[in-house]
Structure formats: structure tokens, C-alpha cells
Structure 1
Amino acid sequence: MKAALRLRPGASGTMSLLCLACCIRDVLARVHFELANNTSFRGQFRGQLVVADDPLKAFTERPWHILDDSRVWVGIGRMPDPLQSIFGASLPMDNPTKSFWLNTEAANPLAEVGSTGELTQDADVCIIGSGITGVSAAWHLSNGSEKPSVVILEAREFCSGATGRNGGHLVRNVFNSFISRQASHNTSEAIKTYLLEKYTADSLVAFINDRNLQDEVDLVEGGHITLLRTEQEETDARNDYEAAKAAGLISDGKMGVRWLGNVELQKKYGLSPALNYTGVWYSAHNLWPSKLVTALFHNTSNVVLHTKTPVTSVLPVRGLSRDSVDQIPLSHPEKQRRWVLGTPRGDIKCSYVVHATNAYSGYLLPFMADRHRSKMCPDIPSDSKTVELLPDAELKTTTTQTGADRSPPLTLRHDILPSPKVHTIVPTRGQVGAVRALANTSALGWLNAWDGGGGGWEYWFPRYQGTNVSVNPLIILGGGREHAGGRLEAGVADDAALNPRVSASLHEFLPSVFPGQFAADEGWEMEWTGIMGFTASGEPFVGSRCFSSIS
């Protein structure tokens, strides 16, 4: 699983209003068809679906409107359970796999804070989600000039989503895919995407260093090596580097970019000579992700946390139309509460709602749900003979690494994304594990993080904390999704289970890259999954969800 703190785009995306309008019509038509033709749905709702002559107008007024015996489901409220099978949206699983970052002893002191006792009933801002996005938003709000009252609501334990289940890399993209971004946008816009990642990574490191939290969050500046498996991969990487340098993005000496030959990788790092890989090194960090988010939370004020409190609906306060909700000014003297959030423990009224739920966004925002999962498919080169993807996802053939020509066993895109015409957030399961090296700290010989190798999707780094030269370090290794079969875990939101195909590939990976330093069936101490969120464009959704503006 690519880390939530691994600062590569792909967690959300931008939106075309024209495409959104088409999606709205498709959503309403599909729901109407499903409910009209499925007796189990009709039985559960015991009501009717109201669809206007103009679906787009109906959506701007009330995205979906279903009547049943108990309440009117209208607006941005929770999607009723029977519709979740249509839209692919759900709350996080109740019993997720155990993550090293969360389930190591004393690792998550905020795990169940605010899960019992009286529920806060009023706040200026409600933030849904306690990962890096939600807690960062709370930190900025509490350190701003207005200092509003803030409530963070988390469905499970604190930081138990992707932030607490990732690979622990704090890595910015230095120049990868620069030529592609330059062609898709323009040079200045392409540069901005890299500077945004740099700003984010630098800000997190500054937050840690300014407060002397390096040991508390296990921050390590060990650098990062991207393995280049083929001559073409190396050529593309060098071309991206030169293009980024020519555009002024990279200055000589900045980021310490250094190209590594096969001989150096063998002698200094212990890579298998059979692989014939090269690589590129650049400055980067790794850390304990959930401890960083815990530190962010402890540096807030006027923020209340309620864990194990899933938000099941977000509705306008009674008596306010959607338009009037949007038009209430920020500085309203009476602090008019505009929204009411429903939870199993009671309701909370607030003026603003921040959705920081990533892959689970579609549960409360149905238009963002992964309702087109059947269209998910990887981009497989036409000359590929390594894998055949069938509807029910049987992986038919694989090849092994031949070494001499540095051919990868599987050539697939990293960004397995939905059709560019589908503007949704697609939950995608990633898998990570913690394995003990056979070699001790001095024999292993590398401190840096890595990515590449295998199918090109793996990423790993060593944890030396709490060890000495005579103790074998623990390696955090993630990836292997290229071996998952089917749609490569796209559309899968179940982090309560492991994918056995991915497990097998991860267990075999390090021994194949570093012979003698790892064993496939030895040293595995923990293995877990987590749910990432992808969009068609690869860019994040950030901004106001203003329904009255859709026309």
C-alpha cells in the first residue's frame, strides 16, 4: 500500500461539471432501475424513489430522495444500506487486520479517546476522519487566528484508516513522470505539482524538528533508492530528470540525486547480481505515521476527539434549505449551525463539515462512490504475455525474472485507476508486512528506503529503532498488488482480510532481491491491509462541496 504519507498523487481528483452532470443522471437512472426491479430493495424501503423529470435539477436540490417508514433520506445524508451494494460505498470494517503502527504495544495512546461518555453536541467545525488529513485540518484550524471549536469524529480507533496502515515513507516525488505532466498540462503547472509535494514534506519535517519530536515519531533521514529494472526504465528516468532540471525544478546538488550502477548496488547494498538492476538515490525520510498524527493532535487546542463514533448522515439543520445553508456568511454573529451530523451515539450540530474520509468518501457523498467498479481494469501492454485478467479475476499465467535483460515479471501501470470519464474515489486495498532480516544491523548495510523491483510496485525500509548491531532489524515491506489477480484490489474496501496471492509475492520478494539476507518463510511478525483512495485524474479533491453551484 502506498503510504498516506508517501507524497505521490493518487488519493483523490479534480472534477469536470459536465462529466459530473452525466454521472448524476446515470446515478439516478441506475438507482431508479435497481429499486424498481429488485423486490428485496422494495421490501427494505417499503416506499418509493422520487425522480424528477430533470434529474440534474433534482440532484442539485436533493442528491437522492428515498422515503421509508422511519425517515426521509434526503440531501448529503448517509446512503441507506441497501444502496451500498449499488454504489460500492461503506463504512470501514469493524475488525481490520492488525497493523504494526497501531497494534504494537503503547503505539496508539489515542485509540479509544472519546469513544464513551457524553457526546459533544455542538461545534463550529466537525471533521470526519482522524488520519493525516483530518488531524492536519484540525491543527491548522486551532493554530489560526479564529480558533473555532472543532470536533473530530472517527468511525474506528484513532488514525485507523490508511494513515495508520501504510508503509511509513515520507517521500516526495523529485522528478518522476515530469515529461508526462509537462505534456498533460504545461511546464509551470507541472512544476507546481512537485513544489506542492516538496512544501508538504518539508512542512512535516519542520513540524517534527521544531518540536524535537524526531525520536517520538521515529523520523529517519536515510534517503530513498528507486530501483530501475530495465534499460528503458533507466532511460525514461534520466530523461525526466534532465527535463525537470532544464525547467528549473532541480538544481545541481539539490535533493542529492545520484545515479547508481549495478555493480554498486551489488557491492554496497547486497542486491542480487542476477537482477541486473540500476537505481537512483535522493533525499527522503521515513517515520512512524500514526505517531506523527498523534503529535499533531497533541499540538492542537479547542479540539475534541470522538473515536468509535461513525458519522452516518450529514443533513441541513431543519428549516434551512440547501441554498440558505450555503449562503450563511462565515462571520454570522449568531454562529448559525447549518448542519446536523448523525451518529449512533446522537447528533452533532455544526457550521462547517470537513470530509477527510478518503476511500470511504462515497458513504456520505454518494456522487463520489465507486459505482462503476465493473469498468476498473489495468492498462496491460498489448505485447504482454504475463497475465490475463478475467471478469472474476483468475490470474492465469506469470513469468519469472530472467535477469540478463532485466525484464520485469509484470509490466503494469502503478496507477490502476478508473476510466477518465468516471469522477469517483475508488477504494483500493494495499498490503504491508513487517519481516525480520536474517542479517544483523551491521551486516545489512543500508539505512535508506526503497521502491521498485519485482513488479515495480514494492516499497520497503529498515527499522533500526530499539536495536543494536547484534539485533536483526525489522523491515516494513508493502506492495505486491500486481500479483493480486482480478482488478488488482481496485474496488476492494475490506481491510479485515489479506490477499493470499499478495502475501505469497511479498514473502518471496526480499529473498529474491537480497539473497542471504531474508528467507521467504522466516521472520514475518505481522501483516496487514489498508484501503487507499484513487481518482481518475490522480489529483486530490480539495474544496467546498457546494451543491447550489452545480447547474
Structure 2
Amino acid sequence: MPTPLERDPGLPVPDPTVPFWQLPPHSLASVSSKKFQSSTDVVIIGSGMTGCSVAKGLLDGDSKIRITVLEARGLASGATSRNGGHIVSPSVGDFAELVECFGVKAAVDIAEFTLNNIEMTFDAVGEFPESSLAKYSKIRPTTKVLAYADQEAFNNAQKSLQLWNKHMPSKRKDHFKLVSSEEAKTELGLHNVVGAGIGPGAAVWPYRLWCGLWSLLLDRYHDRLAIETFTPVHAVADAPATEERLGRYVVKTSRGEVGASHVVYCTNGFTSHLLPTLRGKLFPFRGTMSAQDLGLSVPNHGADRSWSLLSTPHVDEKSGVRSASLYYLTQDPDTGYMMLGGEYEKPEDLVCSDDSKVNSRSAEEISKVLPRHFETPDPPQMKSLWSGIMGFSRDGIPMIGRLSAEVTGRREGGEWIAAGFNGYGTGYCYSCGLAIAQMLLGKDVSGWVPSALTITKERFQGSLSTGKFWDGLVGPSVDAEPRSKL
């Protein structure tokens, strides 16, 4: 009997909950070609932010390459447009843990990678100054506030920040500071916290950003880019010798087969459906998000801030319910709506690939978060509630690179992956996608891509098989105090 981590996630369900972000649907939400092409140079599976970054990197880097993007549902309709709207690095708060798990050099490299990712995302938007993408997507710098609800979590943050300022390059030091509970109350309006961390961050309307970027890429590269939505991939196979002229691989879809020389998996939590050897190493995680109206003017809480609330995880022995250790929050600068997510659920209801349902306990709990930590004269009105499927790796960091025959069961050389962002897709995805594009084009990325993220044979057989980062999610019931951060 497989554990929840080892189950087949299947294909994305056809009837997902509808995020506030996706209303109204983008004009390309159901885009597809009139004629489904039987061959291409590169197939990208998944049309989210990672797939978009891969496509942009390839199209910008090779003037002849042809790309077909295959998406099981609507354009950018997965985790990319179901998240909290942050563009932040997880590395400051996680730095001590990264050092413990991977060493100082790897921790520094990963932190630099995520911070550069934020800058590169803004740069991608800036490449189209004639467009309205920046205004349309509401991408903006923010002050990132990470609040701590208990002393243990705050103590860990102090340790992490000390290590950060000790080991990071000088240009990254002293950009983040910790404040006391009293300062958090007077300066930030936060209640019932023991302290907070403050530093640079960013926020965005994620669906608009990535659909908008896809639209600009289609305009620029319409003769070399095809996007096929509502075209789920059922299997990838080696091409028969008689069909190798169409490519090294055959990608089998609901609309027919397409031959390709390269296949890139940008399917995050659903990846192990197509690559069964990754089950137990890469798994889905269902998150809960909401849009809430406090009926307050925007300046009261600050749309120029993005928030997270961290506490030490706790599991109720009787119910098995896991108290969330992380809530995340941004505010829409126009409507004032608070975009809030977080989990309060049994582990077996978190390790799940069905986003047609919402975690019921989590939905109830997130309605209480704003009154608990902000002055709210009236209860918030729930405007929208939805779920989304993230991809978590067993060792807690993304996996990127060329896949070996050990993983695919096929000839090596042309299958690639960028997945397992552990709830921080916006902190990793653009850089990971660009890294894959450059690798595929034969460029040396060793100068800026952390070696710890690559999916080597050693990592496949090592930390991805034995990692304890998400140890508390392995079994269907809680038998011991977990070490999970969620």
C-alpha cells in the first residue's frame, strides 16, 4: 500500500475550484491551434510560470527552434494562478535550515538564486515597455513582513538572520531586520505576534502576469510557438525507429501524438504521473487560498506590503489536525481585498492532487486570521475561496536539469525537469525555467545555477529518497511529532 507521498497524482481534475485571480478569464485561456502539429523541436508540458520561462528562454536564445506547449486545462490555470501573489525569496527565513541540510556554500548559492529570480522576473516584464503588462499585472515592489506567532519560531529567525549576515555577500547583508512585538504593533499594526522580520519583497496578480507574458511571446514568435490548452499528456515514449525523423520522443495526448527532440516537464505536483520513479520523491500538496474584504481603505493595511505569519507546527493528538505554520497575505492595491492562504488540516488531506475541493478546516481557520492579527471592526467577508496543487520535493528544494534513463526508463539526452518548488514557486520558477532553457541550448549555467538543485544520480538515490524535510507528511496518520515546517 503506497503512502500518500507515493501515490499516482493522476492528471489535473477537469473541474477545479475557480480562483479569484482567474476572473475574468484571459482571452488566451482556451487557446489552441486549428491544426495539431505532429512534430516540433521541444514539447513543454505545463503552461504555468515555469513553462513560460522555459519557452521564453528557448525562443530568445535560438532563432530557429520550434516549441509546442501542452496544457491539461486552461492557460496558466494551475498553481501559477492559485497562489498568494507574492514574489519573494524563502531563503532568509530558511537559511539556517539550508545550511544544516546542504552546507554554507549551497545555502548561499540557493539564496542568491532566489533573490536574483525576483529581479529577473521584473526584468522580463521590463523587456516589453511598449506593453501594458506591468500595469495590467500590478507587479510592484513591496516591503516583506514575516511575523512570528510564537517565541520558538522567532528564536529560529534570529539564528537564521545571524547566519545570513555572516555568510552572504556584502550586497545582501543588512537588508532584513527583526523587530519586537511592540514595534510590530506600532509600526505594522500587527497584534498577537512575538516579533517580525522586515525586508524587500514583491507582489503581483499572478494570472495576469503569466497570461500576459504568454500573449506577448505569441505575438513575437507566432511562427515558432504553439500553445495547446485542454490537451492533457497521457504518456511519453521513445520514438520507433521508423518515426525518429519526427523526433527522439513521442508525446501522446488527448488530441493525438507529437514527435519531439526534447520534452520538458513543468508539471510540478503532477510530474510523477508521467514519471513514476519520482513518486515518493516529488509529491502534490493541496493549498487553500481566499480573497477577503475587510471593508477598509487600502492604506490601513498597506498594499505596498506582503505578509507572512509563521509559527512552530503543532499536531493535535486527538484529531490529527496539523496547525499551519505559515500563512501568507497580499493586498490588492485597487479593491483592498486581502489575498490570504494557509493550512490547518490532517496530513492525508494536504498530500492530495484534487483541487476541485477546498480543505474544509483550512477554509474555516483562514477566516479567523485577519481579526486575530489586525484591528478589524467587522468580520471579513469571504469573496472567493479556492485550492491549488503545489509540488513538494522530499529534500525541500526544487529539482532541475536533464533526466537520466534511471528516472525516465528511456534513452537519455532529451528529457528535462523543473519542479518541486515547495510552496515558493514565485521565488524560484522564472530562474529555474531560464536555467533549463540554457541547459537545453548547451550553455554553461554553472556560474549561476546552484548545483544542489540539479537532479543528479546521487541526489536521486540520496536526499530525494531519504530526505526528512517533509517527514511529518510521509504517513496517513500522525504517529510522532513531525519535523515538517507546515
Counterpart of 1:427 in structure 2 is: 284
Count the aligned residue pairs.
388
Please show how residues 181-220 of structure 1 align to structure 2 within 5 Å.
181-212=98-129, 213-220=133-140
Q: Which residue matches 2:327?
A: 458
Question: CA separation in 1, counterparts of 2:6 and 2:154?
Answer: 43
Q: Which amino acid aligns with 1:475?
A: M
Distance 1:210 1:438, change over 3 A: same
- In terms of fraction of residues, the more helix-rich structure is 2
TM-score by length of 1: 0.66
Read off the aligned partner of 1:463 and give its amino acid letter: D
2:24 matches 1:109: no
Structure 1: gaps spanning 5 or more residues:
1-29, 32-83, 326-334, 370-421, 468-472
What SS does the corresponding residue of 1:284 show, helix, strand or coil?
strand
Structure 2 equivalent of residue 477 of structure 1: 340
Could you tell me which of 157, 161, 167 is aligned with 1:237? 157
Q: Which region of structure 1 is more displaced relative to structure 2, 439-448 or 87-96? A: 439-448
Question: Do the aligned partners of residues 447 and 316 (structure 1) sit closer, same or farther apart at CA in structure 2, a change above 3 Å counting?
Answer: same
Distance 1:271 1:87, change over 3 A: closer
SS at match of 1:487: helix
What residue in structure 2 maps to residue 354 of structure 1?
264
How far apart, in 1, do the equivalents of 2:105 and 2:371 lie?
A: 43
Once the two structures are TM-superposed, the CA of residue 518 in structure 1 deviates from its matched residue by 5.1
Structure 2: gaps of 5 or more residues: 312-323, 406-410, 413-456, 462-486
Q: Provide the secondary structure at the position in 1 that maps to 2:350.
A: coil
Distance in 2 separating the partners of 1:137 and 1:442 = 37
Give the corresponding residue for 1:17. Answer: none
On the 8 A contact 2:40/2:246 being kept in 1, the answer is no
Partner residue in 1 for 2:39: 122
- 1:533 to 2:354 alignment: no
Contact 2:31 2:227 in 1 (8 A): yes
- Pairing 1:263–2:124 present: no
Distance 1:92 1:445, change over 3 A: closer
> Which residue identity does 2:339 align to in structure 1?
I
Once the two structures are superposed, residues 121-148 of structure 1 have per-residue CA deviations (whole angstroms, 9 ceiling, x without a partner) of 2111111110111111111010003531
The 2-side partners of 1:359 and 1:129 are apart by 11
Q: How far has the Cα of 1:101 moved from its partner?
A: 1.4
AA at the equivalent of 1:265 = A
How is 1:123-162 mapped onto 2 (pairs within 5 angstroms)?
123-162=40-79
Please say which of residues 202-211 and 188-197 is displaced more in the overlay. 202-211
CA contact (8 A) 2:6 2:283 kept: no
Q: CA deviation at 1:461?
A: 1.1
Once residues 259 and 486 of structure 1 are traced to their aligned partners in structure 2, the CA distance between those partners, rounded to angstroms, is 31
Identical aligned residues as a percent: 24
Task: State the distance in 2 between where 1:87 and 1:251 align.
Answer: 44
Report the 3-state secondary structure (helix = DSSP H, G, I; strand = E; otherwise coil) of the residue aligned with 1:119: coil
Change (3 A) 1:143 1:517: farther
Alpha carbons of structure 1 residues 365 and 320: separation in structure 2 relative to 1, 3 Å: farther
Query: Counterparts in 2 of 1:259-298, with a 5 A limit?
Result: 259-272=178-191, 275-298=192-215
Q: Counterpart of 2:399 in structure 1: which amino acid?
A: F
Q: Could you tell me how far apart the structure 2 residues matched to 1:512 and 1:214 are?
A: 33
C-alpha displacement of 1:538: 1.2
Rounded to whole Å, the distance in 2 between the matches of 1:284 and 1:524 is: 26
Question: CA offset at residue 539 of structure 1?
Answer: 2.0
Aligned AA for 1:498? V
- CA offsets 1:388-433 (integer angstroms, 9 cap, x no match): xxxxxxxxxxxxxxxxxxxxxxxxxxxxxxxxxx4x2111100100
C-alpha distance in 1 between matches for 2:170 and 2:385: 37
Work out which of the residue numbers 277, 280, 283 in structure 2 matches 1:367.
277
Match of 1:339 in 2: 249
The answer as to whether partners of 1:429 and 1:530 remain within 8 angstroms in 2 is yes
Alpha-carbon distance, 1:502 to partner: 0.8
8 A contact 2:154–2:194 mirrored in 1: no
**In structure 2, how many angstroms separate the alpha carbons of the residues matched to 1:344 and 1:452?**
42
CA RMSD of aligned residues (A): 2.6
Partner of 1:395: none
1:389-538 matches, within 5 Å, as 422=280, 424-445=281-302, 447-452=304-309, 455-465=324-334, 467=335, 473-479=336-342, 481=343, 483-487=344-348, 489-490=350-351, 492-517=352-377, 519=379, 522-538=380-396
1:205-224 Cα distance to aligned partner (Å, 9 max, x none): 12223434321211121211
Give, in whole Å, the separation in 1 of the partners of 2:29 and 2:264: 21
Question: C-alpha displacement at 1:294, in angstroms?
Answer: 1.9
Counterparts of 1:132 and 1:152, CA distance in 2: 12
Query: TM-score, normalising length from structure 2?
Result: 0.74
Contact 1:182–1:189 under 8 Å retained in 2: yes
Residues 139 and 299, structure 1, Cα contact 8 Å, conserved in 2? no
Contact 1:429 1:494 in 2 (8 A): yes
Cα distance change on mapping 1:86 and 1:286 into 2, 3 Å: closer
Q: Which structure's CA Rg is the greater one? A: 1
Contact 1:234/1:278, CA 8 A, preserved across alignment:
yes
Partners in 1 of 2:91 and 2:38 — Cα distance?
Answer: 45
Q: How does 1:17-166 map to 2 (within 5 A)?
A: 87-102=7-22, 104-105=23-24, 107-114=25-32, 117-166=34-83
Q: Deviations over 1:126-171 (max 9, x none)?
A: 1111011111111101000353100000000001111011111000
- Structure 2 CA distance for partners of 1:174 and 1:347, relative to 1, 3 Å: closer
For residues 253 and 195 of structure 1, do their structure 2 counterparts lie closer, same or farther at Cα, with a shift above 3 Å needed?
closer
- Offset from partner CA, 1:70-97 (integer Å, 9 cap, x none): xxxxxxxxxxxxxx99842300000000
Partner SS for 2:326: coil
Matched residue, 1:408: none
**One-letter identity of the residue aligned with 2:338:** I
